[in-house]
Structure 1
Amino acid sequence: MNFKDCGKDICELFNIDYPIIQGGMVWVSGSKLAAAVSNAGGLGLIGAGSMKPELLKEHLKKAHDLLEDGKHIGVNVPLLYRLAEEQIQVCLDAGIKIFFTSAGSPKKYTKFLKDQGCTVVHVTSSPLLAKKCEDAGVDAIVAEGFEAGGHNGRDEITTMCLIPQVCDTVKIPVIAAGGIFDKRTIKAALCLGASGVQLGTRFLMTKESSAHQNYKDKIIAAGPGDTRLQMKPHVPVRLLKNKFATESLKLELECAPVEKLIEHLGKGRAKLGMLDGDTDEGELEVGQASGAINDLPSVSELMKDFSTIF
């Protein structure tokens, strides 16, 4: 397969050099990371899910100052977040034209954003949902497999099975996500029919990500089986094993009611672990790729390596 011919539709859609997108992760994907990925030829996304509108505004301004001429970023907005509408308006006011939406119905804002001249991509985890996204008018789909970190789909379809089925279901470009972290896995996703790839954990593990060093060190030390998909009765999420995750699993195995799981989760657990660096009591969202990552390169080093595919 000639990979130099791959991803042209994604590159044209986003006006980027390589069909590589950095996932919009909470507490990790701030202005520095997003700008670095875009400056290196991919598409950087600010993860708005952990930001109140004022903080998002600050990150958008910082990213603008960091971007080279002709480069741009996008924003990932979880639609179930209570401030999603305000976040979208902040982004529009800042001139953002690329929106990745997730955790909610693609019908909610797609037409509105398209009417503003924006490009809209929705994250999905099944062929059925991918078709609903296409019918809602999105420009592309992120098909995210069960291997991915953070909040996952309930169907638990792995990337290798998901991507071909989604590509057979829709006519718009498909961006593969979940378990993609190096040139081998990028090539595999393209061979499965994807037009591009989205990487989360691999970009989390760069010098520019805002993840705490304690969190990064724990990922470097992680083995292949050190993540689990947990809290399925509430909201499925893939976590790195630690004290908090073990306690959560115990509650699940005891068939604790959802209310008890929510009480245990509390507030600020993800920030505590991922940004503040409490790797015992914090919620550490990460993908299965963590077991294969043992270095911390700069974004430019990583993208230079990836670029040799195309």
Structure 2
Amino acid sequence: MPELFDNNRICGLFGIQYPIIQGGMIWASGWRLASAVSNAGGLGLLGAGSMYPDVLKEHIQQMKAATSKPFGVNVPLLYPDIEQLMDLIIAEGVKIVFTSAGNPATWTAKLKEQGITVVHVVSSSKFARKAEAAGVDAVVAEGFEAGGHNGREETTSFVLIPAVRAAVNIPVMAAGGIATGRQMLAAMVLGADGVQLGTRFVASEEASSHPAFKQLLISSQEGDTQLSMKKLVPVRLLKNAFYQRVWEAEQRGADPAELKEILGRARAKKGMFEGDLEEGELEIGQVSSLIKEILPASEIIRNLITEFRTAVETNY
């Protein structure tokens, strides 16, 4: 199967074997998961969104010790210590940075001056064109199905992928609703050069998410997630007591200030990292309903490639 990816633009851009990127999910994407993905032939990403700069520095150094393969860091641009974080990434010699939740023009040029490959996550073809104009090397087209923070456009992956492919000339990765090799092939038929998976890797042995959260993920059914807090920052959540309070507030027309008060502080950490399944914020994608096993990251990648191969050979 590797021969199918010999001329793949994502493999060439990052120097990896398979065009499979592990999403830099908060409270899940530490060095153990990222290094396991990189060692298995994909691209592992450290999730800086849940790390203070000193914690990220430790994870980068652990990552370097755990793999000689390419890896990157995912950075939400709304991060409060963004300048300190970017200075750290440059100082530590990180070669690949994925940015999201902000204007890519703010940091892309500075990062590229340091020889860093830059990718930006987008939710529309409009933002894809802006990212390309800002000089990024590739974009991730993230559909409405994705977990965590989401675009306001609510465009599904099957619509977004071909729209972004038609809008830009740079490589495109698809994200949102992808957990199997057949879904990977579908995304690539629609125009993606590769795929980024978040939820599937949360349900891995190496993910730093709480075991109770992982178990809830693999027991979830269709309809168990919902895009919430659209007046604040849209985020897809598993339904629980916290989600129910948010839903009830939204039904009565709560404003952003009230939603922010309900959200409080460290709600995502409480749920995904500490395992409070009722009062925590449980960010996960719709595709969770298709995932029934917690597996090593290397086995997840092997399964993806096997399923991809079968789909190519059998047209199913």
TM-score in terms of structure 1 length: 0.97
User: What is the match of residue 301 of structure 2?
Assistant: 303
User: What letter corresponds to residue 163 of structure 1 in structure 2?
Assistant: I
User: What letter corresponds to residue 94 of structure 2 in structure 1?
Assistant: I
Matches within 5 A, 1:282-301: 282-301=280-299
Matches within 5 A, 1:159-198: 159-198=157-196
User: What letter corresponds to residue 286 of structure 1 in structure 2?
Assistant: I
Matches within 5 A, 1:1-310: 4-5=4-5, 8-67=8-67, 69=68, 71-308=69-306, 309=308
| Deviation of 1:306 (Å) | 2.0
Three-state SS of the structure 1 residue aligned to 2:269 is helix
Three-state SS of the structure 1 residue aligned to 2:106 is coil
User: What letter corresponds to residue 138 of structure 2 in structure 1?
Assistant: A
TM-score in terms of structure 2 length: 0.95
How big is each residue's C-alpha offset from its partner over 1:281-306, in whole Å with a ceiling of 9 and x where there is no partner? Answer: 00000000111111001011111122
Structure 1 portions without partners, runs of 5+: none
User: What letter corresponds to residue 85 of structure 2 in structure 1?
Assistant: Q
* Residue pair 1:179, 1:289 contacting (<8 A) in 2 also: yes
How big is each residue's C-alpha offset from its partner over 1:129-185, in whole Å with a ceiling of 9 and x where there is no partner? Answer: 000000000000000000000000000000000000100010000000000000110
**Between Structure 1 and Structure 2, how many residues are aligned?**
307
CA distance in 2, matches of 1:6, 1:79: 33
CA distance in 1, matches of 2:169, 2:180: 27
CA distance in 1, matches of 2:298, 2:124: 33
How big is each residue's C-alpha offset from its partner over 1:58-115, in whole Å with a ceiling of 9 and x where there is no partner? Answer: 1111111111x3x121000000111122111111111101000000001000000011
Three-state SS of the structure 2 residue aligned to 1:107 is helix
CA distance in 2, matches of 1:261, 1:3: 50
| Deviation of 1:6 (Å) | 7.7
CA distance in 2, matches of 1:185, 1:249: 31
CA distance in 2, matches of 1:88, 1:16: 24
* Residue pair 2:5, 2:19 contacting (<8 A) in 1 also: no
User: What letter corresponds to residue 173 of structure 2 in structure 1?
Assistant: I
CA distance in 2, matches of 1:154, 1:294: 29
Three-state SS of the structure 1 residue aligned to 2:218 is helix
CA distance in 2, matches of 1:287, 1:94: 32
Runs of 4+ in 1 over 4 A off after TM superposition: none
Three-state SS of the structure 2 residue aligned to 1:220 is helix
